[in-house]
């Protein structure tokens, strides 16, 4: 990989870290943000539901870079993020924060596919996994670096403190994209056969329109099963995401800075899960790895009430819960890319929507269920994992004629 391209990928990783920090900080800092804008935790979680439902439009939002070019997509995404962070600075209220979250999330759904598509355009397939893995560090680094910094700033100067920094870094990011990323023309609609990762040539889709792709996906049993898997798996994770900050605060009287620092544990676990998947999944087979991950993730959820008798135990429990989740979800990505090769991009975009619907479902249920205690939350998470396992069993890659001789375990 040329050094200049490595620098661009590093820049894009840092930009994703910025955007993901704002996107994810509401989880560990939820009680503090709710108090800051003068609403209850239950009311604030309704804003998270609205944010999650917004991503139902991700197949349309995420297609901007295909229509306007990768660079334009990145700039639009960052501009929306800047608009959100700027709005809450001038209108520091619950409605202002909700609209800011929606604008920033819309920007994220434009930015992320634009960045991934750019790397896909620039990096050869044989090196692309390494490049994509580097980009994904922008997800875990937001918890390792971004959220602890945000928690520290809020503890020192109030809930609004991180947003001017976010806005300033967004302006810097826009400038760097303008300088470092070359102009590009929008890609043409698929007119030629495509080549899969296995080196197999597949015919172009009959129609390259979004709506034709959606119809084909909804008529494909394995594609629907894969989407349901993502929905249920994200629900299982979000059930704990929503309440873990509240749980730590109530159980151990953690202050906001400590809650932000606790997020570092989750970020490290995500790095560990990604690393485990890169070593284990291809060796044991995709479905075996995912099944094992679901079982272990369920066991870790049930262990939270036991380990949570002490603060170190609670942090260990959260570490193992997020480690097994990240391993499972990363192991599932290769299957989703092979279910329907001629609609790969559309299916992955719809999968984002399925994940978000799952998060919206969990955000609606999580707080009322947590009123019964962390054991009830763990039980709900396990229930969603069992539904995900049922959906996994319905996925048949051979329906798409993509089962590789060397990957009998997939």
Residue 408, number of CB atoms within 10 A of its CB = 8
How far is Cα 225 from Cα 396, in angstroms, rounded to an integer? Answer: 9
Helices and strands (H and E) in the chain: how many: 17, 2
Of the candidate CATH numbers 3.30.70.100, 3.40.50.300, 1.20.1250.20, 1.10.230.10, the domain formed by 209-410 belongs to 1.20.1250.20
Place of tokens 């800092």: 29
Which pLDDT value is given to residue 292?
A: 96
Average pLDDT of 238-248?
85
Residue range 93-113, pLDDT digits in tens: 999 999 999 999 999 988 887
Pick left, alpha or beta for residue 373 (phi over 0 → left; psi -120 to 50 → alpha; otherwise beta). left
Three-class SS state of 57: helix
pTM of the model: 0.71
Nearest to 302 by CA among 316, 313, 317: 317
How far is Cα 289 from Cα 304, in angstroms, rounded to an integer? Answer: 23
Query: What do you get for the CA distance between the two ends of the chain, in Å?
Result: 29
All residues at 6 or more sequence positions from 91 whose CB lies less than 8 Å from its CB, including other chains = 99
Residue range 26-35, pLDDT digits in tens: 988 888 999 9
Place of tokens 């501009």: 79
Residue range 38-65, pLDDT digits in tens: 999 889 988 888 887 787 777 777 667 7
How far is Cα 229 from Cα 386, in angstroms, rounded to an integer? Answer: 10
Nearest to 42 by CA among 242, 224, 179: 242
Residue range(s) of every CATH 1.20.1250.20 domain in the chain:
1-182, 209-410
CATH of domain 1-182: 1.20.1250.20
- Of 178-192, 230-244, 269-283, minimum mean pLDDT range: 178-192
Confidence of residue 408 (pLDDT cuts 50, 70, 90): very low
Higher pLDDT, 357 or 399: 357
How far is Cα 353 from Cα 282, in angstroms, rounded to an integer? Answer: 26
How far is Cα 92 from Cα 88, in angstroms, rounded to an integer? Answer: 5
């Amino acid at each position: 990989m040329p050094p200049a391209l490595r620098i661009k990928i590093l820049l894009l990783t840092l930009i994703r870290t910025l955007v993901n920090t704002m996107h994810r900080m509401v989880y560990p800092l939820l009680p503090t943000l709710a108090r800051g804008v003068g609403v209850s935790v239950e009311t604030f979680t309704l804003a998270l539901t609205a944010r999650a439902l917004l991503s139902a439009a991700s197949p349309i939002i995420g297609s901007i870079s295909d229509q306007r070019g990768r660079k334009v997509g990145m700039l639009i995404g960052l501009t929306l993020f800047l608009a959100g962070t700027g709005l809450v600075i001038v209108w520091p209220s619950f409605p202002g924060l909700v609209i800011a979250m929606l604008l920033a999330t819309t920007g994220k759904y434009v930015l992320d596919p634009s960045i991934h598509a750019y790397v896909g355009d620039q990096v050869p397939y044989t090196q692309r996994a390494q490049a994509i893995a580097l980009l994904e560090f922008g997800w875990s680094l937001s918890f390792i670096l971004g959220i602890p910094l945000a928690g520290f700033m809020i503890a020192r100067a109030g809930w609004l403190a991180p947003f001017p920094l976010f806005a300033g870094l967004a302006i810097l990011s826009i400038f760097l994209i303008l300088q470092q990323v070359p102009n590009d023309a929008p890609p043409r609609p698929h007119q030629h056969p495509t080549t899969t990762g296995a080196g197999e040539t597949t015919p172009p889709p009959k129609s390259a329109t979004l709506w034709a792709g959606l119809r084909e996906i909804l008529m494909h049993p394995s594609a629907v099963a894969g989407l349901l898997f993502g929905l249920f798996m994200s629900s299982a994770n979000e059930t704990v995401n929503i309440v873990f900050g509240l749980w730590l605060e109530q159980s151990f009287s953690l202050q906001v800075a400590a809650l932000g620092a606790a997020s570092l544990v989750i970020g490290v676990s995500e790095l560990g899960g990604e690393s485990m998947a890169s070593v284990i999944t291809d060796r044991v087979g995709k479905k075996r790895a995912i099944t094992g991950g679901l079982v272990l993730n369920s066991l870790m959820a049930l262990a939270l009430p036991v380990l949570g008798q002490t603060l170190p135990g609670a942090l260990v429990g959260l570490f193992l819960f997020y480690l097994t989740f990240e391993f499972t979800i990363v192991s599932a990505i290769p299957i989703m890319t092979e279910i329907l090769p001629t609609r790969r991009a559309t299916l992955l975009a719809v999968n984002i929507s399925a994940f978000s619907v799952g998060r919206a479902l969990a955000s609606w249920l999580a707080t009322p269920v947590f009123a019964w205690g962390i054991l009830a939350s763990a039980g709900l998470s396990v229930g969603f994992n069992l539904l995900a396992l049922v959906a996994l069993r319905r996925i048949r890659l051979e329906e798409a004629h993509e089962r590789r001789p060397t990957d009998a375990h997939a």
